[in-house]
A and B are shown apart, each in its own frame.
Chain A
Amino acid sequence: MPAGDTEIRHALADSVNARLLPSYKRIGIALSGGLDSTIIASLCRNELDSNQLMAFTLDFGPPWSDEVATASAIARHLDIPLYIVDASPANILRNIHPATAAMVSPYGDAVCVPWYLLGKAAAEAGCDALFSGEGGDQVFGGWANKPMVTELALTGATVDAVYAKTFHRFLDDLSGLLHGGFEVSSASFDVHQWIRDCLPKSATNTLLATLRHLNFATKGGGTISPRFTELVEIHGIDAHAPFFDTQLVAEALALPDSSILDGSTDKAILRRLVSDMTSPEIAALPKRGMGVPSTSWAIENHPLGHKVRHQLSRRNKHRDPRIRQDSVDVLLSGIVDAPDAYRRRRIGERIWTLFQWEVFREVHSLSE
């Protein structure tokens, strides 16, 4: 077994075990069928009987249901009962307001309501806590680092400049939809300085360790973990993301880069662990993690799409007057007039963030 695998496996198990409180009678696991949630499910199963565990997976409805088959196979293998959570556009629409009410920040993307639904399903099924694989991407590399490696290799830019590009959708593209931009992108906020402040203090870090450190410090700890927690714990149960454990993070950041990105294979160590913890067949299943069809939600012809379009249209009297109608109209027509326009998901990402902003204003009765 390559150096570090055993230590990480132990650190992961310790992280999960430390969160399996004796008072819990039943544990829920958010099982998307990706590497991270499979590992968490497997570690929970090592400690608990089958009847103490329940797995929950989201069904976004056809043609977006492919996660269900993978999650089912994994749940069967681990002998954990699997519950399918309705994440159809109709159910997203029913839950957009209560989910947004649970948020303390207006900045949300399309995973917020699905997280809320997972927490709700776990609470209704009698679980005391919901465990998730959130954080695996930030701590163990994941696909998000590949563009930065590509940018560094092709252009020779500095690490902080490259990292700032990962915020371009929020700071540049989305801000272009509002006159004056989002508050966070105002002149008083210097994203480059913020990133430099978050850089690891040790100069001995490898490039990937530096990027992962930044992922953890800015996105993981700053956005993903608190948002997941608030959207699950609103239902009266505990939310746990063992990948964000500080001891585990410290050990993960010390891993050799080859354990994270082996050639073009990312999360190399997690792939080995999944194979070791489950079976080669399970490890070979296609694993993408949770994917949200936000573009379909935003522009297609169903009540959720109608709600999105109404919320962002001039007919909405309470709409943020700073919204640039021309830009939003282009987006809602299914076009992103931007250099990444060829990727359809970018449409949904932009619209949904703006929509979430609007719903937040509505729910919290904000006029400013």
Chain B
Amino acid sequence: MKCIHCQSNTPNKIARATSKCSACLHRFAFTGLPQMDSVVEADPMGGRSQHRPPAYANHIAITDMLFHKAIQGVGSGGKYSFTVKQLYYEFMRRLPAPAAGGCATAVGIIAIMPLMLAMGVGGAGGGTAPAKVAGPPMSFETFTHYYYNQWIRIHGEPEGLVDANPNTLTSTPVLPELLNYSFDRCLIVDNADIAAMLVANRFHFENNCAILSADGGYPARERRDAIMTMLDRNPNLVVAYLHDASASAFAAAATLRSAEWFGDRRVWIADIGLSPRQAWAQKLLVEQGENVGVASRLPTDELDWLNQGYTCSLSGIRPAKLLKTAYMGLTEASRATYEDDFDTMGGVFLMGYMWSPAGYVYHDTGFSPWVAGGDTAAFDASAPDSFG
């Protein structure tokens, strides 16, 4: 068993007996055995898992090095901040998927095996709905309860982990004089933890961009109201909504036109969320939630998929890629407002997720590829005060 501190190998037998590296004596968090084989405690998710061994007991050797590499992977070697949920998905990618149908939790999670068939519809490309599904190694709750917490007990909190609790981050009031100013743009995301992750990675700072979560969790209420007031001061505001591939997220896009958000203000709102087709193409884990039903201009196969209750989380995408996607989406959304006078100003322009396969634009008659507008050079040239 390899030690993450000194890279020495300790024979498994000794590691399991002592839980320590034989060279540097650092403790191991895991000893290569399924942790819960000998533990009677139920899966914290409850449900069926109370009556059978957790799914991760199917011969997955969890080691410190495996977990360490997941931390390194999700944060690109310590360069990016990340959420626990993102770490979970990274960890899942490094575990072998169990047999099809092996879903251990009440709110099941299934892994998709996209066939990556070209759609040939409107040139948009992309994947198709998965033909085969398999259960993931473990639920998020199992991961945090048994593995993540154990890692913290032995090795401490990973560097770069985002504190997603807005009460500790953003509950102080905004300076009154800040209300005189505004933001160039606004990015709305589904969840507080993704919003906190974007802020931790300086996305707002690089893009003069307010970041809010649609669930109301980020930032805290005191700051949120002030930020909405500041947004009101920009007469040319561009709003982009980046969200999970889920029926509820697509339904939530429409609520951005409610009085709680932007009402009938002349604000350009672009939906740059993850579409089912994009999720299929990127081999993301799929979670099955409630079937809420959604009416959308999405293609039929994607709509059917959503209406079966399948969802796919943005957290399954590494921070490096998610930041780039958000930037591309915001840039394209901003460009569209200058070059086009869409009749959809009063609605939400469904632009599609800005990642390969290309984002695509939905029309009443179908969908077509989103063509990135012109030369991006203007956005890339260094300004004189390049340390500023």
Contact = CB atoms under 8 A, between A and B. Distances in A.
Interface of A: 63-64, 66, 109-111, 134, 137-138, 142-144, 146-147, 149-156, 165-170, 206-207, 215, 219, 223-224, 257-258, 261, 263-264, 288-295, 337-345, 348-349, 352
Given A154-B210, A206-B177, A64 B381 contact: yes
Given A63-B375, A146-B208, 5 more contacts: A109-B382, A111-B386, A143-B383, A156-B170, A207-B175
A137 B384 contact: yes
B83 interface: no
A257 B177 CA distance: 9
A153 B387 contact: no
Contact of A341 (B169, B175, B320): B320
B174 A153 contact: yes
B182 A264 contact: yes
A138 B385 contact: yes
A293 B373 CA distance: 19
B259 interface: no
Given A293-B381, A342-B327, A149 B386 contact: no
Interface string B132-175: 00000000000000000000000000000000000001101111
B17 interface: no
Interface in B43-87: 76-77, 79-81
A149 B388 contact: no
A142 to B, nearest CB: 8
B201 to A, nearest CB: 4
B235 A263 contact: yes
B378 interface: yes
Nearest to B209: A150
B385 A137 contact: yes
Given A64-B381, A154-B211, A219 B327 contact: no
B236 to A, nearest CB: 7
B327 to A, nearest CB: 4
Contacts of B358: none
From A156, A168, A215, A341, name the one whose CB has the most chain B CB atoms within 10 angstroms.
Answer: A156
Given A153-B178, A342-B324, A147 B382 contact: no
A259 B209 CA distance: 21
B319 interface: yes
A150 B183 CA distance: 7
B261 interface: no
B223 interface: yes
Contacts of B201: 339
A273 to B, nearest CB: 20
A343 B381 CA distance: 10
9 contacts: A146-B183, A150-B208, A153-B178, A156-B170, A257-B180, A264-B182, A288-B383, A337-B79, A340-B206
A166 B235 CA distance: 27
Nearest to B171: A156
B184 interface: yes
B380 A223 contact: no
B183 A264 contact: yes
B237 to A, nearest CB: 8
Contacts of B388: 137, 144, 166, 215, 219
Contacts of B376: 344
Contact of A343 (B169, B206, B235): B206
Given A153-B174, A153-B210, A341-B324, A264 B380 contact: no
Nearest to A228: B384
B382 A345 contact: yes
A109 B205 contact: no
B295 interface: no
Interface in B340-388: 375-388
Contacts of B208: 143, 146-147, 150, 264
B219 interface: yes
A83 B384 CA distance: 20
Contact of B378 (A66, A137, A219, A290): A66
A156 B177 contact: no
A154 B219 contact: yes
Q: Which 3 A-B pairs have the closest CB atoms?
A: A291-B381, A144-B388, A342-B324
B234 interface: yes
A151 B174 contact: no
Contact of B199 (A142, A154, A345, A349): A154
Contacts of A288: 378, 381, 383
A339 B385 contact: no
A256 B184 CA distance: 21
A77 to B, nearest CB: 23
B124 interface: no
B380 to A, nearest CB: 4
A67 to B, nearest CB: 9
Contacts of A294: 381-382, 386
Contacts of A352: 382
Nearest to A134: B384
Given A152-B175, A154-B223, A343 B385 contact: no
Contacts of A170: 387
B95 interface: no
